[in-house]
Amino acid sequence: MSNTVTRIRLAVVAAAAGVLVLAGCSSSDSSGNSSAASCEPAKGKVTLQYWNTVPGMDDVVALWNKKNPDIQVETKNISNDQYGTLGNALKADKAPDLAQVGYDQLPNLRTQNAFVDASDCSAATKAKSAFVPWTWSQASFGDTGVFALPQDTGPMALYVRSDIFKKHDVAVPKTWDEYAVAAEKLHKADPDLDITFFDPNNAEWFNGLIWQNKAKMYGYSGDKWHVTVASDESKQVAEYWQKLIAGKLVRTDLANGSTQMYAAYQKDQIASYVGAAWGYSMFRDNLPKQAGKWSIVPMPTWGANGASGDWGGSTVAFMKGGKHLYESVKFNTWLNTDPEALALENKLGGLYPAANAGLQLPALSKGVPYYNNEKIFDVFADSSKDIDTSFTWGPTQKTVNLALQDAMAKAAGGDGTLTDALTAAQNAALKSMKDQAIPVTAGK
């Protein structure tokens, strides 16, 4: 008898708890307006929350905290499942003041009402001139507000094992056509040698390649998004790599940054690497015995078109959870434009700065011992200038990238082609945007 009563009582408690949780969620769902916040300095001491994924960022923040006793910053590393952590925090109304967000995920988070507009703070709008133009354009969504400040970029270049090219008497390629010819020559000279690898699980890398060819994945006009993931420019890139894969001139069994990849480079099985600026420390730290064998040269170009691509890079965004916009702007500006902060981030975290000032850092104008004392950052600086500024990411980029990867993997295994993969990604973009109630249409 009392047993039953207890059970009923517990059931009531359970139901009440459930209702409370559900009620909490429904209210948070409807109050999702991301309006511009006012920019008033706080009275007294302020503590900011800043979530990031950069190694060594604790030391950079410690430097700030020492200099600014009234604006203290607390950091949290969210490298493990960065966007899952941010998405959950947003859903629970527990987002930090500032968080690291990759350029390609900015539109995605904006459609989730993740940011506050900092354009009421003059310090934020004035920061525009401090940054490489395309980075500012992406962080401000083409000047519709200031939602983030750019932090680092990944201008692309070609990493070359000069000794292998020399040994087989193959010239270092300047265009993609020359690259394909070199691929054939190297493979012919040594059947165990390939010019590079195509990582089918890396949509971000492939996106960098199509960005270089001036492909536009998305546009917006007439109250609609226009999806052009499978454009002629992207298809040209897809067909090019498809030919290399079909001819077995590039390996497809390696993932970027994996132990397997380093093992293949260690065994001199691969002669080059199409990479980004932040990759320079990867080879230096993982293949110390190959010091002096690597050079970094400009990325091969599409004919006379000298454009370059970008792979990766991040911003520090003003998140909805922030209550101290004035102080957040102050810290964010320092973090991403102050020479002392930038130098420390480059040294500890390997960041290649998005700020113009960063390009003149003493550390970035010196020769790098691992790369024959070559001034490799000059190559990246030139690459950075040649990146198409109007490239935009889609609001469901993560889903699109996954679809692209799944289909690229199939193509690498001989099931379909990379062009099919672009079509799959195009369809995934349309479907996922419809699922998010975003008005969308295919083509320009």
Give contact residues for other proteins (rule: CB under 8 A): 1-3, 5-7, 9-10, 13-14, 17-18, 21-22, 25, 29-30, 32-34, 83-84, 87, 91, 107-108, 110-113, 141, 144, 200-201, 220, 223, 225, 252-255, 258-260, 263-264, 395-396, 398-399, 402, 405-406, 408-410, 412-413, 415, 432, 435-438
Nearer to other proteins, 57 or 118 (CB): 118
Chain centroid, CA 416 distance in Å: 28
CB of 167 to other proteins, least distance (A): 23
State the Cα–Cα distance between residues 155 and 132, nearest whole angstrom.
11
Nearer to other proteins, 304 or 437 (CB): 437
CA angle 410, 413, 417 (to 5 degrees): 55
CB of 409 to other proteins, least distance (A): 4
Residue identified by tokens 């769902």 is: 29
Nearer to other proteins, 217 or 412 (CB): 412
Nearer to other proteins, 181 or 438 (CB): 438
CB of 433 to other proteins, least distance (A): 10
Nearer to other proteins, 119 or 162 (CB): 119
Burial of 248 (0-12, 13-18, 19+ CB in 10 A): exposed
CB of 115 to other proteins, least distance (A): 10
CB of 32 to other proteins, least distance (A): 6
Q: Give per-residue burial for 358-395: e unless 16+ CB within 10 Å, then b.
A: bbebeebeeebebbeebebbebbbebbebbbeebbbbb
**Minimal CA–CA distance to 318: which of 438, 154, 150?**
150
Nearer to other proteins, 315 or 333 (CB): 315
CB of 104 to other proteins, least distance (A): 13
State the Cα–Cα distance between residues 126 and 392, nearest whole angstrom.
23
**Minimal CA–CA distance to 126: which of 385, 359, 330?**
330
What contacts 291, CB < 8 A, 6 or more positions away?
284, 369, 370
Nearer to other proteins, 64 or 198 (CB): 198
Sign for the CA dihedral angle at 163, 169, 170, 172 comes to positive
CB of 84 to other proteins, least distance (A): 6
What contacts 7, CB < 8 A, 6 or more positions away?
none
State the Cα–Cα distance between residues 102 and 109, nearest whole angstrom.
10
CB of 127 to other proteins, least distance (A): 22
Nearer to other proteins, 123 or 409 (CB): 409
Among left, alpha and beta (phi > 0; psi -120 to 50; other), residue 142 is left
